Every structure is written in C-alpha cells, then in structure tokens.
Structure 1
Amino acid sequence: IISLALWLRGLESKLRRLRFIRLRLSRVRNTPCGSSLPSMDSFICSTALLIRGRGSSVGVAISLLCGATADQAGRYWQLAAAAVRTIPFALMNFPIASRYRSATQPNWMGLLARSGLNPTAPPRLQFCRTQIDMKRSASALIAAASVLIAAGSMAATRPHYGGTLRIAVQAAPTSLDPADSSQPDSFTRRNLSRLILDTLVDQDDRGRLLPAIATSWEPEPGNQRWHFYLRPGISFHNGTAVNSDNVAASLRTANPNWKVFATGDSVVIECDSPDPWLPAELSLPRNGIAKREGGKLVGSGPFAISHWDPGKKLELSARDDYWRGRAFVDSIEIEMGRNFREQVIDLDLGKADVVEAAPEQAHRAVMEGRTVQSSASFELMALVFSRDPQTPDEARQRQVLGLSIDRAAINNVLLQGSAEPTGALLPGWMTGYAFLFPSEADLSRARQLRSEIRYAPSWSLGYDASDQLARVIAERITLNARDAGLSVQLTNGGAADFRLVRIPLASLDAALALTKLAENLRLPQPKLTSDASSDLYAAETSLLESKRIIPLLHLKITTAAASTVKNWTTGRDGSWHVQDAWLATEKP
C-alpha cells in the first residue's frame, strides 16, 4: 500500500502539469441533464451520473476512466464552470484525482426546445478541453488502486479466529446443572447452559422449532407419547458419543415426571397428559443434554468447561470438533457477581469485553457510543400476591392498587423509556392482543372503588433488596397507592402480602411461555387446547381475573460490548449469539 501511495503521488504531479488549452466557444446542444457536446451527452454524462455518487472517492477514479474513454474518441470531458478542484482520498489523506462535476442540473432551454417551442438561441457557453496525456491504462490503474485500498481496509475487519472473550455478569450461580432446581432461573443461567449443552430441539427468533440433536420428531395419536430421532456423529466434550441412552438419562434427571425410553437411535417420551408443546419445551436450556459423572457436568455444546469456580468465575474453551462448526473465539472467561456499576468500570478499563447494562442505563450507554444490544421485551415485572383474595372487598382493594399505579411514569422517569408498560402477562409482540388489557393509571376510578370498600387493611410489599431498580419502583408504587387511599409498607424480609418480582419468560412460544409463567408463580394452570390467539387470550384473562398478579412492565435484556468485539448480537429472548462473535486485533 505504501508503494501504491508513492505511485499515486507521482501520478498527482503529472496531473498538475496538465495544461488547459485555450477556451473555445462552441455551440452546444442543451439536454435535460445539462449542456454537453452532442456526441457525448448521451454517453459520458449519463454514464458519470449513474456510476459516480457524490462524495465517492472510488467514483472519482471511475469518472476519470470515463474521461479517458471520451478522450480516446476525440471528445472532451465537461467541467463545471468553477474549473477543477482536487479532493483528498479518505483512507490515505492525499489527492488522487481531479473531481469532475456531474451534469445533473436541468436546462430549461433544452426542455423548451424539446417541447416544440422557439426560445431564443442559448448563449454560447465556455468549455475547458482537458487533454489527458497519459496512457490508456493510467485511469484504469487509478480505479484499481482505489479498489485495492478499499479491499485492504475491508480485510482488516474480516472475521478471524482467536482470542479470549471476557464477559461480566451480575448473577452468581453456584451450579451449572440446568436440572438443579435450587438455583433461581435467570438469563445468565440460560446462556451458560447454551454455551455448554445442546438441546434436542432449537428455536429461532420467531419461535419456530429447528432440529438440533434430534433431526426429527413425531407424536403418537393424542400428543401424549412422542418419538425423537437422534442425529448421529455428535459427541460430548470427553469424546463419548451422544446416544439414546445418555439422552434418556439426562431428560429423566431434569423431568422426573416424564417416562423416557431409549429405543435404538431414538428416544420416546411419555407425559402424564397430552402435551402438544413438548418439542418447544425440549428447546428450553433446562432440558440441555448433559452427562453427569462424579459431580461433573459434561455437555456437547460449542464450549467445554476448562475451569469452574462456583459463583465466581467460569472459563470455557472452544471445541474444534463441534458438530455445528468451531466458534471464532478460542475461549471465554465469565466473571460473576459483578453489579452494574462494577461491570461498567470493567468495560471502561478494558477488563471486560461484554457486560450487562441496567434497563435504566441502556439509553445512556447508546449516547456514550457503546455497542449496545437489546432483546425484545422478554422479562415481566409484576406484583404477585401470596394467596387468592378471601373477600370481595379484598379483591376490590387489589383492583384499586392496579388502577393507581402510573406505569408510564415509572417507565419514562425511572427506566428512561427502556421498558413497555403493560396490563398483560405476555408482551404484545408475542401475542398481538396485549393492548386489550389496559395499563393506564385511572386515579379517579381507583378512588371511587376505594370509597366502596368498608375496610382496607395495610399491606406489606416485599422486593429483592439486592435489586436497586426494584427498590425505587417499589417506593413509587407505595406513593401511587397512597394517592388512591391505600396503605402499603415496604419490607425486604421474607413475609409480605405481595411482592414485586421479575420473571424471565420461558419461551418464545406464547402458549408455553404462559404455561410456565403460571407454573413458576404457582397460579392455576391455564387450560389451553391450541395456540390460537383466542385461546391464549381466554387463558390469560382467566389468570388475571384471579387477582393474584398485577402486571406492570415488560423489560428488555441489554448488553454493552467493547469496540473490539465484532458481530456480538443477542436474540429476542436475551440469548447470547457467541458462535458468530469475534475479536478484532486493533485497539479500541
């Protein structure tokens, strides 16, 4: 490239020695695209207009090439009235060619003439004839040089293998086993499972099922017994082949209520009741296929465990023999138990490549120029009561609380507009009917209902003391409730009348997400016969009418990445797409 730059400087000197021949007056033909010589207006001008964009350095070289072609034909390129000016080439910052102005200004005299009118004769215009006194290949070399320099720049950003991706997270799980029910569900646990384990079935960002370890599946009549046919040639990290026996053993551990049988190259799963959503459930990270030996977890995923310090640090190494292809990065280091402030400091100091961003800090991270990726609204924040209402007044009191909460103000002020206020359990992008459940505050209606309650006892509201966002939102809820005539006291102890919770949705499949949501909150299981919107709406309405839960917001999962991390993306469900990410060699 240096040699090419020297050659271009010499070429620039030659161009400066070009002499303009004397101006001559010539009568020209006016066209809608500008004034030009009759023999070149339809070829040269139109060609330049199509191939050269404004401000394009590469286009300059192409325009000179057209100029050389016109010169060989004995024609001369039309210059702007202000003569010629040079422009710097963006990559190397020195002039490489003269920029000719494209003939794009309309000529109304020409338009009148084409319309059959008799305008006065156009004035005689001045043109500069520029003789290009170099070989025919010179202009072509300029174009080739521009392309080569651009290609060199693109090569610097080409994906390549190597490096260690450093990730910081807030959660601190003490077990990597997805079947360990003692560990709370979190997006971090799900992503760690996806790095280590494969599932029988996958889901894309639209919730469509895709083959994974299982290449195909089919139910027996009634949807209670399913057959899953396994893909050959897959192995665990220790080299053991993935077969029907260890797949069946893994699923039995994660789902004790299932009857799982190994039959040749397939697995048969029998549920307690008909389950048309079983393939979607098998795509959940908790159903990742694992081989458990001596307290150690071995998977068949894209990364193998090289070091594990429970609750503190996890080190993974990329598998060269992974059946879907090797990841770009060589290894991943995940620091756990880092709060949002510590993660931002790690990112600023270059100690982390990818960090989590708090919902209220997502907008600021974008304004600071960070590479920010957000999921869809995939986490529900809601108020959950510990039991059903015992009297009509208690049910009405819960209704008053729901009407008093200003969700829009909470979102705009506390979350900087990063969430979606909601009165529904599932987000609108998933179901399409969330707008049917009102989420706007109605203080006058709340006060009217409060006046009809003879006795409204004081309530206690619990929240996660380690969650700063939950604390400030809980405080706002108590103020809203007071405006409606209710008394709510905050507590971070174990016993509370209702709690402010954050619940990650289980699946991109709406029916499965609603079923798992009710299961996790110990609500009555919705009766779904299909995944039709009408059935989903009826089931969700039934859950809300129980007065056990008051939806507030749907939150997004946000990550921020350093400039050296390329192609880092997250799915709509907050999943990390680590397979496609790679590390650039240049410094940020």
Structure 2
Amino acid sequence: MLRRLAIRAVFGLTALLLALPAAARTRPRYGDTLRVEVSGDPWERPGGLARRLVFDGLTQMAPDGELEPALAISWASENNDHRWQFRLRPGVHFHDGSSVTTTAVVASLMASCTANCPWDSVRALATSIVFTSDEAMPQLPQLLAGSEFLIAKGAGADPDGGTGAFEVSGFANGTLTLAANDSSWAGRPFVDAIEIRVNRAVNDQWIDLAAGRTDVAEVPAESIRGAQQQHLNLALAPQAEVLALQLSDRGALANANLRAAIGYAIDRNAIANVIFQKQGKISAALLPQSVSGYAFLFSAERDLNKAHELRGGMTPAPLVLTAGADAALQLTAQRIILNLREAGFNVQLAGPAVRAADMRLRTFAMQGADAAGDLVSVALASGLAVPAMGAGPSSTYNAERELLEHRTLIPLVHLPRAWAVSGRVRDLQLRYDGSPVLEGVSLEAAK
C-alpha cells in the first residue's frame, strides 16, 4: 500500500512539473545520459529500439510520415520504376572509421534480404546503388527506410558496424550503453549516451519512472488508459500497427472457404474493447483509415452464421495457433480460439517457436503516410505476393482487396504505440510506426 502511495505521489509531482509553462524551459542542451527501459531485446528484428540508433538506411521516414534522404542523398527511377539509382552520401564513415562505400552498402542489403526482396538485383555503380526488377517498384524509396534494410558493415549482424547517431560502448548487468557519435553525418545528438535496460517488465518500468530511475518507459496499448489515469506524460502514435491473423493456405486450411469462415467468426469488438481497453480500432483493412481513406469499405462485423455456412459441415483437423509471449497477444489468441470453437473449429494454442502452425497472430507496423508503400511493406513482411498497383487511392484499394481475398491475412485491430517520459525529457517525437526518435531528445539540467 505504501509503495503504491509513493508511486502516485511521484507521478503527481511529475504531472505538476509537466504543466509548467513552455516559456520556462530553455533551448535544447547537450550532455547527460538518457535512460530507457524495454521489455524485450533492443536488437530484435525488425523493430528493436537500438537498431535505428546505431544503423541508418538509404532513406528514412520523418515523424510526419514523409520520406527523407539518409545515406542516400538523392534517387531517381527509370524504365517505369523497374530501375532505381540511389546516389550515396559522400564522406560518411562507419563507427570503426572505415568509409561507407557502395560495395559495403550492397553487401549489407544482400545479407539482410535473402528472400522475398522488393528488388531482383542490387549492385554498386560508381557512387550509386542500382536496384532492378522485372516488376515495377514505385514504392522502393519508402521500403528502403524500413528497419529491415538498415545498413551495417560486413554481414549486417555486427552492432558496432553502423553509421548512426550512437555507437555501442558496452553491455553489462542487463544494460546496453550507447555513446554519442561525434562525427555523425546527421549531426551530433544532444545527449552524451543512452542506457537501454533490457527485458524489464512494464510494471517495473513504471515503478522506475516514478522513482526517477529511468526517463523513457513502454506503455502497451492495453495500458494506455491506466497510464493516462496516473497522469503519465505520454508520447502517442495513434494507429502505428495492425494486429492481424496470418493463415496458412496449406494442410488443414488449404480450402479458401475455411479460411474465410475464420475471418467471419472472430469478434473484433471483444478484442479491441476488452483486451486492449478500447484503445484499438477494429478494422478488416490492413491500412488504417487515416492512411488509406478507404478502410471503412471493409466490413469488420462478426457473422457467425456466415462462418458456419462457409465451413459447410467440413471438420478440419485440429488447428494450431501461435502468438507472441506478450500478455495481450496471448489473451487475444485465447479469445480467437473461443470464437472459432463457436464456429465449429478445434484450435490449440502453441508457443511462438512452433514453425508448423496453421495460424499466427502478428503485428505489422505502418511505416509512413504513403498507403501504397505501407501495403507493400505489409505484404513483404507477411511473405505474400505484392499486387500490382498504379497511382492513386483507388488502385491501392483494389490491391489491398486483392491481397485480402486470398484469405491468408485477416486484419483485426489497428493499435497505438505509446511511451511514458519523465519530466526532464524534451522534444521526444515518435515515428509513424510508434518508435521513439531518441537521437533528437535533450534533457533538462539537474536543479
């Protein structure tokens, strides 16, 4: 009881400090160490927190979702987007001091993408990197801003081989320490270092935030309401990712009608309202309404009668569903199993390491404000064929409809991502995918 009262008292003080007039704050200052806590692995692919701090891509997405140059300073397409040429930024060095060459960039891209790449070939040409494909690649510049295509020296697995605003300086006692890169091509970051404490339960992160032991903590979607009630200072990306059920089209679910029946059987409202505490927005579209403008055209209503009709008396073998270890995903999986049992399916929940699963609960991040680019990104991440697309929203809508008609990807809920920050953190922004732009943060001086 005393512990809870102490936490509330500190959160109340934090809220009071955050309410001070903006004029009382000073301009960004250099120095100090930013302390961050995460529940997982900061090197996890594709969205590990440390990856964007240590590595850069050829392009990058600004917080407003617009595309910007990064290791490439310009790019141009030829042959109706079948060939792209990206001009490499001159004078950039890896953290070990070696030059970033077109050969090194090509080697990194080939190592990071060995299958289902958005290009057929990539090669170095003088000061440029050239991508070619038999299929048009109009979204390639946006795709190259994705975390999976960040450039690393060598095979792409060495965390010391980046060009980013921070470089690895050590890992001890569960804390990864990153030091500011004084010669960063984008300019030196404000803080001297970032300490990322890994594998921390969210409740422990909040306790450390209240006690002043950390500056940035995770706030899962299902905990946003509780964080607001405790008056935490939140940075929020409202629809950063889509939660979807990916189905195999082989084995027990080779029949498309069975896959369609599963889609009709799921109660999205229960998932969004109960498990995610009304923080998610139900949808049968992969892209949120704010990005595509047409998500409302896909019906998200449950129709158990239609599910029974499509199943048509077929009794498939017991199905295996996997989900990540995250508590909300586990609860969502259990809710889906109950829904499917009502529709006549026998489903068993297995751990995320199981490879031969019939269904997988997955999240896909929204990369930017371009609907076509986001759709291609989701298709590539799910291993599905990318539908042909022309210009304009109607073409993107038709491509998404074609993708969903295969019934191997069932969108469920669009979810926000949020982070809680201490009162001394200034200028924290989030990218479209909800990841924090920590390289732009500065810290208030101690008083």
Using the size of structure 1 for normalisation, the TM-score is: 0.65
Q: Which residue of 1 aligns with 2:208?
A: 346
1:337 aligns with 2:199: yes
Compute the displacement of 1:370 (Å): 0.9
Match of 2:38 among 166, 169, 193: 169
Alpha-carbon distance in structure 2 between the residues aligned to 1:240 and 1:206: 33
Q: Which residue of 2 aligns with 1:235?
A: 93
Alpha-carbon distance in structure 1 between the residues aligned to 2:72 and 2:400: 32
Q: Which residue of 2 aligns with 1:276?
A: 138
Compute the displacement of 1:444 (Å): 4.7
Q: Which residue of 2 aligns with 1:454?
A: 313
Compute the displacement of 1:356 (Å): 0.9
Does the Cα contact within 8 Å between 2:106 and 2:122 map onto a contact in 1? no
Q: Which residue of 2 aligns with 1:250?
A: 108
1:584 aligns with 2:447: no
SS of residue in 2 equivalent to 1:547: coil
Q: Which residue of 1 aligns with 2:183?
A: 321
Compute the displacement of 1:445 (Å): 4.2
- Rate the CA distance shift 1:374–1:245 in 2: closer, same or farther, 3 A: same
Does the Cα contact within 8 Å between 1:193 and 1:286 map onto a contact in 2? no
Give the AA of the match of 1:301.
G
Does the Cα contact within 8 Å between 1:251 and 1:260 map onto a contact in 2? no
Does the Cα contact within 8 Å between 1:460 and 1:491 map onto a contact in 2? no
Q: Which residue of 1 aligns with 2:288?
A: 427
Deviations 1:221-244 (A, max 9, x none): 242332222333333323334343
Compute the displacement of 1:214 (Å): 2.1
- Rate the CA distance shift 1:255–1:410 in 2: closer, same or farther, 3 A: closer
- Rate the CA distance shift 1:194–1:441 in 2: closer, same or farther, 3 A: same
Q: Which residue of 2 aligns with 1:43?
A: none
Give the AA of the match of 2:441.
A
- How does 1:400-411 map onto structure 2 within 5 Å? 400-411=261-272
SS of residue in 2 equivalent to 1:297: coil
- Rate the CA distance shift 1:221–1:475 in 2: closer, same or farther, 3 A: closer
1:386 aligns with 2:248: yes
Compute the displacement of 1:386 (Å): 1.8
Count residues with an aligned counterpart: 420
Give the AA of the match of 2:417.
I
Q: Which residue of 1 aligns with 2:410?
A: 550
SS of residue in 1 equivalent to 2:301: coil
SS of residue in 1 equivalent to 2:91: coil
- Rate the CA distance shift 1:262–1:465 in 2: closer, same or farther, 3 A: closer
1:159 aligns with 2:159: no
1:368 aligns with 2:208: no
SS of residue in 1 equivalent to 2:397: helix
Deviates more, 1:553-562 or 1:286-295: 286-295
Alpha-carbon distance in structure 1 between the residues aligned to 2:304 and 2:113: 46
SS of residue in 1 equivalent to 2:278: coil
Q: Which residue of 2 aligns with 1:398?
A: 259
1:299 aligns with 2:162: yes
1:260 aligns with 2:123: yes
- Rate the CA distance shift 1:502–1:212 in 2: closer, same or farther, 3 A: closer
Compute the displacement of 1:422 (Å): 0.8
Give the AA of the match of 2:87.
Y
Compute the displacement of 1:365 (Å): 0.6
Compute the displacement of 1:332 (Å): 0.2
Deviations 1:260-286 (A, max 9, x none): 1131x3333334543222222222233
Does the Cα contact within 8 Å between 1:397 and 1:456 map onto a contact in 2? no
Give the AA of the match of 1:468.
A
Does the Cα contact within 8 Å between 1:389 and 1:395 map onto a contact in 2? no
Does the Cα contact within 8 Å between 1:446 and 1:484 map onto a contact in 2? yes
SS of residue in 1 equivalent to 2:90: coil
Match of 1:225 among 55, 75, 83: 83
Does the Cα contact within 8 Å between 1:388 and 1:547 map onto a contact in 2? no
- Percent identical pairs in the alignment equals 35
Compute the displacement of 1:458 (Å): 5.7
Compute the displacement of 1:434 (Å): 0.8
SS of residue in 2 equivalent to 1:417: coil
Compute the displacement of 1:551 (Å): 1.5
5+ unaligned residues in a row in structure 1: which ranges? 1-149, 177-182
- How does 1:45-64 map onto structure 2 within 5 Å? none
- How does 1:138-149 map onto structure 2 within 5 Å? none
Deviations 1:44-76 (A, max 9, x none): xxxxxxxxxxxxxxxxxxxxxxxxxxxxxxxxx
Does the Cα contact within 8 Å between 2:424 and 2:443 map onto a contact in 1? yes
Does the Cα contact within 8 Å between 2:139 and 2:376 map onto a contact in 1? no
Compute the displacement of 1:156 (Å): 4.9
- Rate the CA distance shift 1:416–1:255 in 2: closer, same or farther, 3 A: closer
- Rate the CA distance shift 1:200–1:502 in 2: closer, same or farther, 3 A: closer
Does the Cα contact within 8 Å between 1:163 and 1:331 map onto a contact in 2? yes
SS of residue in 2 equivalent to 1:430: helix
Q: Which residue of 2 aligns with 1:490?
A: 349
Alpha-carbon distance in structure 2 between the residues aligned to 1:513 and 1:352: 33
Deviations 1:490-537 (A, max 9, x none): 3337244323222334555332332232233233x1322324222222
Deviations 1:7-34 (A, max 9, x none): xxxxxxxxxxxxxxxxxxxxxxxxxxxx
Q: Which residue of 2 aligns with 1:540?
A: 400
- How does 1:507-522 map onto structure 2 within 5 Å? 508-522=369-383
Q: Which residue of 1 aligns with 2:4?
A: none
Alpha-carbon distance in structure 2 between the residues aligned to 1:297 and 1:497: 38
- How does 1:13-24 map onto structure 2 within 5 Å? none
- Rate the CA distance shift 1:454–1:347 in 2: closer, same or farther, 3 A: same
Compute the displacement of 1:541 (Å): 1.4
- Rate the CA distance shift 1:155–1:515 in 2: closer, same or farther, 3 A: closer
Give the AA of the match of 1:463.
T
Give the AA of the match of 2:402.
S
CA-based RMSD: 3.0
- Rate the CA distance shift 1:226–1:486 in 2: closer, same or farther, 3 A: closer
Q: Which residue of 1 aligns with 2:9?
A: none
- Rate the CA distance shift 1:369–1:547 in 2: closer, same or farther, 3 A: same
Give the AA of the match of 1:497.
D
Does the Cα contact within 8 Å between 1:258 and 1:272 map onto a contact in 2? no
Alpha-carbon distance in structure 1 between the residues aligned to 2:97 and 2:422: 35
Q: Which residue of 2 aligns with 1:358?
A: 220
Deviations 1:83-125 (A, max 9, x none): xxxxxxxxxxxxxxxxxxxxxxxxxxxxxxxxxxxxxxxxxxx
Give the AA of the match of 1:578.
L
Compute the displacement of 1:438 (Å): 0.6
Q: Which residue of 2 aligns with 1:470?
A: 329
Give the AA of the match of 1:234.
V
Alpha-carbon distance in structure 2 between the residues aligned to 1:569 and 1:295: 27
Q: Which residue of 1 aligns with 2:435?
A: 575
Does the Cα contact within 8 Å between 2:64 and 2:431 map onto a contact in 1? no
Alpha-carbon distance in structure 2 between the residues aligned to 1:383 and 1:529: 24
Q: Which residue of 2 aligns with 1:504?
A: 365
Compute the displacement of 1:430 (Å): 1.4
Deviations 1:156-189 (A, max 9, x none): 544211111111112225xx5xxxxxx643x3x2
Compute the displacement of 1:557 (Å): 1.5
